[in-house]
Chains A and B, each alone.
Chain A
Amino acid sequence: MTAFLSIRNLHKSYHGNVAVQNVSLDIRKGEFVTFLGPSGSGKSTTLYVIAGLMSPTGGDVLVNGRTILDVPSNHRNIGMVFQKYTLFPNMTVRENIAFPLVVRKRPRDEIEARTNEMLRLVRMEQLAGRYPAQMSGGQQQRVAIARAMVYEPEILLMDEPLSALDKKLREEIQGEIKRVHERTGVTILYVTHDQEEALRLSDRIILFNTGRVEQIGTCTDLYTSPRSRFAGQFLGNSNFMPVEIMDAAAGTIRLPGGACVENVRICDSGDVDHPLLMMRPEDLTFRKAGDCASSFDGQVRSSYFLGNVMNYEIGIPGDYTLTMRVYIDGTEHPPQTGDRVSVGWLPHKAIVFR
């Protein structure tokens, strides 16, 4: 099966500064794909090239196997929602949503019907007569989504549409976007640097780092099988510790303290000089002292409560700090700051990058 939207070896530099290099992607029709990555990693640039608002310095963008680089952006039939508020200030909500259809000179009754449909879809019927200046940020972004979808584009691009909103509103509109995606089946490319948002919304995540694609996969793929230190670190604040690999085939490593552990996954990442052990905070548990080799003795440095889990910072010999997250069920006394503890970890869940 050929992909619906393909990006081939995309390259973009600004006056010699490389923003995107050698990015290749294949996206299926109807997929919800998120570009995740730190600031300046080339997410927006890639999106703007797809939208036609920027031209690449190399590579190609194909829809159904045909290049769209020679199509001007007002003929690409792509919808876009921006991070900034971009509703037309001189038009009401209804006029804003109708604008793409008016530009396309559609019949009046079709414009009327489609606009009403979109108003219903984003639940803005009550405010149809308002001007943008009379609405909250969340309401404006909902209208922007409706305006980007009213002409039934095949691709909807969203560049951090919710980053200006508070957490509660953000979650509400995330739900709205998800619902719109399920109802319409539009292909969505969504940019964010909020990992929680990415995990919540997407079918697949494309992880960007310094203008390159670091890893592509489903949310669980990326979380359970990061292929690089960067991927492991970017999703889920992991613990890292330098180790020595004794036997790569058996997964035997030696910890800084001298203890050897078997059965650890070894992964060739290419972004570390020295083998690094990665442990997820939620894979760490409190143990009785000296229980087994895969444990560290240490002291609780600090802790804070996160609703149903406790977050601990544990100082261990060698001046390392482990972050662990423990589920609190209320039956035991959780360790307090200053307590001496033993922390166990699961070798088969840990990964060593080399």
Chain B
Amino acid sequence: MSIFPTRRLRVARGPWLESYGLLLPGLIFLAVFFVIPLCLMLMLSFTVPSLGLEHYRTLFFTSAYRRIFANTFLLATLVTAVSLALGLPVAWFLAIAPRRWSQPVQLVLILSMWTNLLARTYAWVVLLQDTGPINQTLLALHLIAEPLPLMNSLFAVTVGMTYIMLPFVVFPLRNRIAMLEPALFQAATLCGASRMTSFRRIFLPAIATTLGSAGVSVFVMSLGYYVTPSLLGSESRMVLAELIAQLVQSVLDWGLAGAAALVLLVMTLFLYGVQRRLNRQPHTTP
């Protein structure tokens, strides 16, 4: 058996250790430091302080907690929608523009990815605060009389998170678009299709699975995001990750925190499953 991928790495039906042995170190590491602690944490939700589903009842039937779920979903939906809407044109540009145009843009994207997350988030604080350049410019131009309340709002969190999520949309889409055969669109044109029709009937379906998986990745990452909502968001729009942090750090209610974490995990796995199902269409088989 070749140890290098030929078309798709097929694990041979050989002796167990020979075929899966290479996976062992990674699997052991994940089991010890990730899977076991996670399971312990999730188990607490059923056992502490007493055996039962009490925590889940609290989560699902307390209006404050339900609002947190709603906030979380709203934020993830907004971030996903804006990331896709902004990311698609950027990806398109990177895929078709000459190198001397695309390379600087790509560099900016990569540099921002390599920059420390907190630094990037505080940069938004600097920009958006009442004494920040945006408000100061608008005040100086007499377009506004009072500073706009940009900070600690849904707007600020959406902007800050979209900025962090953009590369996860742009790069996969850029690669997919660059792979598309130009002759496909020439053929569509000669078939009589306008640009709009080619875009809708040929381009979008061709990138649909990539768009879908990028969307699901961003949505899932946004569901559990902590740093940006806690720095740029408002108390009244708390999200699930903030709730979990608060429960563990201040309230010390590990059981309820575990329950919230399990709900988050189940939603993530569900979305992952949906995405896998969507990708399995006949025309995508090689």
A binds B: yes
Residues of A at under 8 Å CB distance from B? Answer: 51, 53, 73-76, 78-80, 82-86, 88-91, 99-100, 103-104, 131-134, 144, 147-148, 151
Q: Does any Cβ of A come within 8 Å of B205's Cβ?
A: yes
Is B206's CB under 8 angstroms from A79's CB?
Answer: no
Q: Does any Cβ of A come within 8 Å of B27's Cβ?
A: no
Cβ-closest 7 pairs across A and B: A90-B205, A86-B187, A131-B283, A100-B191, A103-B192, A80-B190, A84-B183
By beta carbon, the residue of chain B nearest A144 is B187
**Chain B contacts of A73 at CB under 8 A?**
189-190
Is B192's CB under 8 angstroms from A86's CB?
Answer: no
Q: Does any Cβ of A come within 8 Å of B186's Cβ?
A: yes
In Å, the complex CA distance between A79 and B190 comes to 6
A131, A133, A151: which contacts B192 (Cβ < 8 A)?
A151
**21 A–B contact pairs at CB < 8 A?**
A51-B186, A53-B189, A73-B190, A74-B190, A74-B194, A80-B187, A84-B183, A86-B181, A86-B183, A86-B186, A88-B184, A88-B188, A88-B201, A89-B206, A91-B283, A103-B192, A103-B197, A131-B282, A131-B283, A148-B190, A151-B192
Q: Does any Cβ of A come within 8 Å of B202's Cβ?
A: yes
Q: Is the interface of B mostly helix, strand, loop or mixed?
A: helix
- In angstroms, how far is the closest chain A Cβ from the Cβ of B54? 49
In Å, the complex CA distance between A89 and B179 comes to 13
Is B184's CB under 8 angstroms from A86's CB?
Answer: yes
Q: Mark B268-286, 1 if CB is under 8 A from A, else 0.
A: 0000000000000011111
In Å, the complex CA distance between A144 and B191 comes to 11
8 A Cβ contacts from B161-204 to A: 181, 183-184, 186-194, 197, 201-202
- In angstroms, how far is the closest chain B Cβ from the Cβ of A61? 15
In Å, the complex CA distance between A91 and B181 comes to 16
From known contacts A86-B183, A86-B184, A132-B283, infer whether A103 and B206 are also in contact, taking CB-CB under 8 Å. no
In Å, the complex CA distance between A78 and B194 comes to 15
A89, A99, A133, A134: which contacts B191 (Cβ < 8 A)?
A99
**Chain B contacts of A99 at CB under 8 A?**
188, 191, 193, 201
B183, B283, B285: which contacts A90 (Cβ < 8 A)?
B283
In Å, the complex CA distance between A74 and B202 comes to 15
In Å, the complex CA distance between A51 and B285 comes to 32
Which of B192, B202, B208, B283 has the largest number of chain A CB atoms within 10 A? B192
In Å, the complex CA distance between A204 and B64 comes to 82
- In angstroms, how far is the closest chain A Cβ from the Cβ of B285? 6
Is B285's CB under 8 angstroms from A133's CB?
Answer: yes
Is A134's CB under 8 angstroms from B285's CB?
Answer: yes
In Å, the complex CA distance between A131 and B282 comes to 7
By beta carbon, the residue of chain A nearest B187 is A86
By beta carbon, the residue of chain A nearest B197 is A103
**Chain B contacts of A82 at CB under 8 A?**
183, 186-187
- In angstroms, how far is the closest chain B Cβ from the Cβ of A72? 8
- In angstroms, how far is the closest chain B Cβ from the Cβ of A164? 12
**Chain B contacts of A85 at CB under 8 A?**
181
- In angstroms, how far is the closest chain A Cβ from the Cβ of B183? 5
Is B283's CB under 8 angstroms from A78's CB?
Answer: no
From known contacts A90-B205, A103-B191, infer whether A53 and B186 are also in contact, taking CB-CB under 8 Å. yes
Is B183's CB under 8 angstroms from A74's CB?
Answer: no
By beta carbon, the residue of chain B nearest A75 is B192
From known contacts A78-B190, A103-B192, infer whether A133 and B183 are also in contact, taking CB-CB under 8 Å. no
- In angstroms, how far is the closest chain B Cβ from the Cβ of A282? 39
Is B193's CB under 8 angstroms from A74's CB?
Answer: yes
**Chain A contacts of B208 at CB under 8 A?**
90
In Å, the complex CA distance between A91 and B187 comes to 14
A74, A83, A88, A104: which contacts B189 (Cβ < 8 A)?
A74
**Chain B contacts of A144 at CB under 8 A?**
187
